[in-house]
């Protein structure tokens, strides 16, 4: 992507800042972020000549002004937390659904070429029909998941009714450097790494044989850009399509760090699902494929980042 004018909502967050860093040299990038969880330090170069940062809430800006001349919108701003959404469903609806509908409407009014929406595998809920296909009926179990599923429906509706191009990317367990260890997503990776680096005993809930589908941050960034460039409109799982058990993950992290510490096993947490795995065939529609052989190196990069941080 080159010489485009791009808006990234939530561009100071974990994923959005990587997208901004990737696009900034060849494009004009505008970030809007209320800094509720994001921070400018997430960006590589906050003084880049192609960068504009608007520190504001998506609900409080004139979206038609913001979207004038924008080619692509990467929409990541959200209350990105299941527990917070359960505590405060109306704020979740305001930040995730209402703000998205207003944004999508402004995209339509300003002839934006495409909007790339950050959705979530949480829309599948407890569906055990794995590997999970995008055509499965959504079974949200939290206001957060319901907001993501509803946004997807609005995006589809705007595509059908007004021809606004879109892709909803359903991320599975994203991990990588800069991830907040308190994040609800893939928290297991930062949790294991930080506990081991502090020489504390990491905790595994249940027997550790539960599996997850992990995807590296750089794959998520590339999938976003491919999604913007592709002609496809619809929903795409963003995942590796490979299941990794928590025990396997723990073993790889211990080996990489050269530690031999037994994990502490605690009873399974209520609400935790046993297996989560994506059907990744739709990723071909955006011409993207994850290299499955990179997992250990990606974990190494993540570990190295946490080492420098601690």
Ligand X SMILES: NC(=O)c1ccc[n+]([C@@H]2O[C@H](COP(=O)([O-])OP(=O)(O)OC[C@H]3O[C@@H](n4cnc5c(N)ncnc54)[C@H](O)[C@@H]3O)[C@@H](O)[C@H]2O)c1
Q: Which residues bind ligand X (CB under 6 A)?
A: 10, 12-16, 32-38, 57-59, 76-80, 95, 99, 118, 120, 171, 173-174, 185-186
Q: Is 105 exposed, middle or buried (0-12, 13-18, 19+ CB in 10 A)?
A: middle
Alpha-carbon torsion angle 130, 135, 141, 144, nearest 10:
120
Catalytic entry in 72, 124, 144, 171: 144
Instruction: Evaluate whether 29 touches 8 at the Cβ level (below 8 Å).
Output: yes
**What is the per-residue burial (b if ≥16 Cβ within 10 Å, else e) of 196-216?**
beeeeebebbeebebbbbbbb
Question: What's the min distance (Å) between Cβ of 202 and ligand X?
Answer: 20
Q: Is 302 exposed, middle or buried (0-12, 13-18, 19+ CB in 10 A)?
A: buried
* CB closer to ligand X out of 85 and 233: 85
CA 168: distance to chain centroid?
11
In whole angstroms, give the CA distance from residue 166 to residue 289.
20
Q: For 53, what's the count of Cα atoms within 13 Å in the CB-facing half-sphere?
A: 22
Nearest to 172 by CA among 111, 230, 118, 121: 121
CA 281: distance to chain centroid?
19
Active site residue 72: no
Instruction: Show the beta-strand stretches assigned E in the chain.
Output: 5-9, 28-33, 51-55, 72-75, 114-120, 166-171, 173-175, 203-205, 211-212, 214-216, 234-238, 244-245, 264-266
* CB closer to ligand X out of 41 and 255: 41
Residues annotated as catalytic are 144
């Amino acid at each position: 992507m080159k010489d485009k004018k791009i808006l990234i909502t939530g561009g100071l967050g974990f994923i959005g800042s990587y997208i901004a860093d990737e696009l900034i040299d060849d494009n004009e990038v505008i970030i809007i972020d209320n800094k509720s969880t994001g921070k400018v330090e997430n960006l590589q170069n906050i003084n880049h000549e192609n960068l504009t940062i608007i520190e504001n809430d998506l609900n409080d800006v004139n979206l038609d002004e913001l979207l004038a001349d924008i080619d692509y919108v990467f929409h990541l701003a959200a209350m990105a937390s299941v527990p917070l959404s359960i505590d405060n469903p109306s704020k979740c609806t305001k930040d995730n659904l209402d703000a998205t509908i207003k944004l999508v409407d402004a995209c339509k009014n300003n002839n934006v070429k495409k909007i790339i929406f950050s959705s979530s595998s949480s829309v599948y809920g407890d569906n055990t029909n794995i590997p999970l296909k995008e055509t499965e009926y959504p079974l949200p179990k939290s206001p957060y998941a319901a907001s993501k599923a509803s946004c997807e429906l609005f995006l589809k509706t705007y595509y059908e009714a007004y021809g606004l191009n879109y892709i909803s990317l359903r991320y599975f367990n994203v991990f990588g450097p800069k991830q907040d260890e308190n994040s609800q997503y893939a928290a297991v990776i930062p949790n294991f790494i930080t506990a081991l680096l502090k020489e504390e005993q990491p905790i595994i809930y249940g027997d550790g044989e539960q599996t997850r589908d992990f995807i590296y941050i750089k794959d998520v960034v590339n999938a976003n850009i491919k999604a913007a460039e592709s002609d496809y409109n619809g929903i795409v799982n963003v995942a590796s399509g490979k299941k990794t058990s928590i025990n396997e993950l723990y073993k790889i992290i211990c080996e990489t760090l050269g530690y031999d510490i037994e994990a502490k096993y605690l009873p399974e947490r209520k609400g935790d699902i046993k297996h989560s795995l994506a059907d990744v065939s739709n990723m071909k529609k955006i011409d993207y494929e994850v290299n499955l052989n990179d997992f250990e190196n990606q974990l190494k990069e993540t570990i190295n980042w946490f080492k420098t941080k601690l």
